[in-house]
Chains A and B, each alone.
Chain A
Amino acid sequence: MKISFLVHNAYAIGGTVATTFNLAGALAERHDVEVVSVLRNRERPSLTPDPRVRLRALVDLRHERDHPLHGRPAKVFPAAEYRHGAYSELTDRRIGAYLEAIDADVVVGTRPGLNVHLALQAPDRVVRVGQEHLTLDNHHAGLRTVLRRAYRRLDLITTVTQADADSYRRKMRLPGVRVEALPNSVPDPTLPAADGTGRIVIAAGRLVPVKRYDLIIDAFARVVAEHPGWQLRIYGRGEEKDRLRARIETLGLWNNVFLMGAATPMEAEWVKGSIGVSASDFEPFGMTIVEAMRCGLPVVSTDCPYGPGEIIKDGEDGLLVPVGDAAAFGSALLALVRDDERRRRMGGAALGNARRFAPAPVVARAEALFGEAVEARSGGGRGAPARSGLPHTLRTGGYAARDLARAAATSALRAVRKGRR
């Protein structure tokens, strides 16, 4: 198969970029794979894709930031999408031209607005796959309405958890569109796994409120009181840094809790630890949980929607605690800090259980899903009526017009809301 991934900005660091590169790289072993980045802001991508994956960009912000069309708001990319501000008439046109000329068998969108582009503009000859890397329930009503209309024209929607796939099936009414869970994959580690002797607890991710690093720090205070030789290392950058620093100082934990900044690759950091932690209030998947487990760390995580509960087997390869409960989180951490044997046993289980997120099984699943979608499409046979029986351009126009109306309504609403503030 020839597979084309469409991503927002493949040159920046991000979970979607990382997971797309992982999947694209693994698929490139047997297929012709390209990653098309709508935006480009630097010479080299921050994360390095597999050399067999071709990478190109549609709009190069280094030269085209001041392009007159880039100053005009996007009309195809829905106004209700979070990233609408980064899109423009220029991105509308470039994405449209890319899709019109596409010679791939499968085109894969990686965020809601790009999935809408696929639905509206990709020709019938290509199988359209919309990936949901967040979750349906977390989208606001305006975006859900846009997606409900546009996604009818996709062939396949993949979510990162079963729970989210169930949401789509229950709430979206998308006749003829297959919805399946396709978890993110984490590359096979190259370093020997952690052996459980380290005395470091590790968390990683963007320092944003939803990740609740404050709760991890509070919980870790109990560990320090009992085991002053242990460290907590938090890797990542973000707006919460100063607040977290203040929390560390208030609790007097500056000898034990460290804000490490960003580290790539994280693999060399995970193996220094012996417990991974994640305290998010909400986690569409939980990439760092899988990363830690693949390096042999048991993970203590909140049992938040949706990912952690589908990744961790509570009591076997990690511990799940209620959301927002620092006391419970501290108790779970202490249980593993105190018990070397249990920690080591759970680390071993994590290593084995997390193999289901290795590229091989995940890519096999993706391959099967994409292949079946291509087959289903060609099964219609040449000359068979397209699903709506209308010429493609006309349908696209219709949807685009409706979306445009919706976009106009949404921005009007926003203007009103702003005015009220």
Chain B
Amino acid sequence: MGTITFPVEASHIMMFARAVGDTNPVYHDAQVAARGEAGGIIAPPTFGQAVAQFDPDYHLRPKSGQAWFGSGKTPSGVEQAPSAGGLHAEQHFEYLRPLRPGDVLTVEIKPGKTWEKESKRAGKLTFRERIAEYRDQTGALVLIARGVGVTTERPVDQG
């Protein structure tokens, strides 16, 4: 956790919108976007999550010179593969204004509450909350993201 600098770029917004299959020109066409209500390109509502790209220590990105837990010669590149791993349980965003190309955001990530629950489908569940506050280059708060991750005792039963 800590503080991350997140430069918002037009090509990143375009690729993110493509990944969610959103063809709205407000995410990729500066001329069309300028004529619309948004007044220019903006980021789609879940784009804030892409701050992960700018977290130097992000654990879900392979790093040069370090073993990766995905498959290579063997199904996992590490001896002790993480058990069932973490899953995303909840995500909540509060928007104070849309993110725009050229914004340079400072994102402060803080741990929130932690709680446990017993589940028939996956054993003991441990929930961890994480709150991220996104401030722009003027120091104004523009986005608040609250995520809840869950670690399961075993893979979720598909029955």
Q: Do A and B bind each other?
A: no
